[in-house]
């Protein structure tokens, strides 16, 4: 009787320290997260070089890199392909590929070589149910202290939503800066959620004598937070 052993994939969790690694990239060697102290990082994986969905994503990330840079966020890509494959693919993207009007896009952020899959395994990017030889489309949001704040996983066939990736980044930075939460579909300029009341007295005060808050009930209070205030305090000039 055969024994079937399922491979256990350990995923880093929200609130964990980002697993450390040293890597060769298209922009030189990096020591992560040591080299990125004080900055947000989006570490993302893709299945393979010279594939169409990945190509569309890299053009988009390259086009948006300066936007993420203004939000104090660095981009780092990863796949299990080799360095020379990476270089040839990125050169092809710049010289030959156009997508949604974006062309001549140069990928300046580092793309990690991970032939041994050691980094991909540390971050749970190899999921055998999807593929044993390719990394899924993982996205890790890592804060300036090297803590994982959010993660999103996509299957191989599904290209990522970059508006959502950027929205999530700005929302987390807004929560940190202003000690608030952000409701469903929040974007800068929308009302934010004020933390729930911790006592009956505070709850009553909020409901009756607080002009700053709009309370539907004691536990659901929102307040205005001006878009210009958010962007002024978060984004670099």
Distance of CA 83 to the CA centre of its chain: 23
How do strand 192-193 and strand 137-142 relate by DSSP bridges?
A: unpaired
124 and 136 in contact (C-beta within 8 Å)?
no
| Closest C-alpha to 202, from 218, 183, 225, 186 | 218
119 and 37 in contact (C-beta within 8 Å)?
no
**Residue 224 DSSP code:** -
State the catalytic residue, choosing from 54, 200, 215, 221. 54
13 is in an annotated binding site: no
Report, in angstroms and rounded to the nearest whole number, the Rg of the chain calculated over CA atoms: 21
Q: Exposed, middle or buried by CB within 10 Å (0-12, 13-18, 19+), for 74?
A: middle
Q: Tell me the CA distances in angstroms from 108 to 4, 28, 36, 75, 126, one per residue in order.
A: 44, 11, 16, 9, 25
73 is catalytic: no
Residues that are catalytic: 54
Q: List, as residue ranges, the binding site for substrate.
A: 137
Q: List, as residue ranges, the binding site.
A: 137
């Amino acid at each position: 009787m055969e024994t079937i052993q399922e491979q256990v994939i350990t995923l880093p969790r929200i609130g964990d320290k980002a697993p450390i690694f040293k890597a060769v990239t298209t922009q030189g060697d990096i020591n992560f997260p040591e080299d990125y102290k004080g900055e947000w990082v989006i570490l993302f994986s893709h299945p393979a070089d010279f594939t169409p969905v990945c190509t569309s994503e890299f053009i988009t990330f390259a086009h948006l890199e300066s936007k993420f840079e203004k939000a104090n966020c660095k981009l780092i890509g990863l796949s299990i392909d080799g360095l020379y494959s990476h270089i040839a693919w990125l050169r092809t993207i710049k010289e030959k590929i156009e997508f949604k009007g974006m062309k001549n896009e140069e990928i300046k952020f580092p793309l990690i070589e991970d032939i041994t899959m050691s980094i991909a395994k540390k971050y749970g990017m190899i999921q055998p149910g999807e593929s044993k030889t390719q990394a899924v489309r993982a996205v890790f949001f890592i804060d300036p202290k090297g803590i994982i704040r959010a993660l999103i996983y996509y299957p191989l066939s599904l290209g990522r939503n970059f508006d959502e990736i950027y929205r999530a980044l700005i929302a987390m930075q807004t929560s940190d800066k202003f000690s608030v939460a952000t409701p469903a579909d929040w974007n800068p300029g929308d009302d934010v959620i004020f933390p729930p009341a911790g006592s009956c007295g505070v709850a009553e005060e909020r409901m009756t004598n607080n002009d700053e808050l709009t309370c539907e009930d004691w536990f659901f209070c929102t307040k205005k937070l001006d878009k210009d205030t958010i962007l002024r305090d978060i984004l670099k000039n």
